[in-house]
Amino acid sequence: MSYFYDLHVHSSECSGCAASSVETLVAAEKAEGYSGFVLTNHFLTGNNCIPKELSWEEKVRCYWNAYLLGKAAGERLDFDVIFGLEHNYGNAQEILIYGIDLDFLLANPDFCSLSGEEICDRVHACGGFVSHAHPFRERGYIPKGNNHLDYSYLDAIEIYNSANTEREDERAMELCERLGLAYTAGNDMHYAPHFATFPHAGLVFDRRIKTSEELVSALRNREGRLQHSGERFFK
């Protein structure tokens, strides 16, 4: 048996740029043959729709609650939903964070003032895992230049993002190989009709991944194999 997971998904409860609820995305990815996904909503320094006036606890509970909604929807469809975040650590450079939970966020109220390297240290201290999202993406919202964190702090590079161009992902794959890091892949899904336009992408595992702990150990052991399909939307 093999199990297909999308490691990069945004839902409208938290991500300002997403147009579908997490329940709708669960159904859409289940229909596409996925076994599960990691919900990686844009965190508070990224494109989020969390009211600014809320307290830290109220804000981070919005992320956790979206995950709980997804998890409940997933359970009805035998589909695994795991908590994660996509965090903009500066200059629109983003990392995908896996293996953290609500307690981690509650315990780190200074999170958004930390450097990318400091965030990696905090995540690692709690057993989490950090992959750099789309490191070579070129879009209007991303300032040009080498604005990224020290890559030696990372666990992985996102080598396939279905909203990237082929060239952007080729460069990410070269970087990943050069650094000798693990890799991740995903759809960067923002709305349910995604698959009508974009190829599907993710990692295939020989075992089911039901928890954050299982995800991090499978990623550390490099058990996932890249799978993707179709033509690129962005050339």
Between residues 13 and 188, which has the closer beta carbon with respect to Zn ion? 188
Nearest approach, Cβ of residue 40 and Zn ion (Å): 6
Sequence length of the chain is 235
**Smallest separation (angstroms) from Zn ion to the CB of 16:** 8
CB 201, min distance to Zn ion, A: 12
Nearer to Zn ion, 127 or 142 (CB): 142
Please give the residue ranges that form the binding site for Zn ion (CB under 5 A).
Answer: 17, 86, 188
The encoded tokens of residue 41 equal 């909503």
> What long-range pairs does 57-63 form, CB within 8 A, spacing at least 24?
57/106, 60/102, 60/105, 60/106, 61/102, 62/13, 62/14, 63/14, 63/105
Task: Select 6 or 86, whichever has its Cβ closest to Zn ion.
Answer: 86
Residue among 15 and 35 whose Cβ is closer to Zn ion: 15
Contact 20, 192 (CB under 8 A): yes
Q: Closest residue to Zn ion, Cβ-based?
A: 17
Secondary structure tally for the chain: helices H, strands E = 7, 9
Residue 94 CB, shortest distance to Zn ion, in Å, is 7
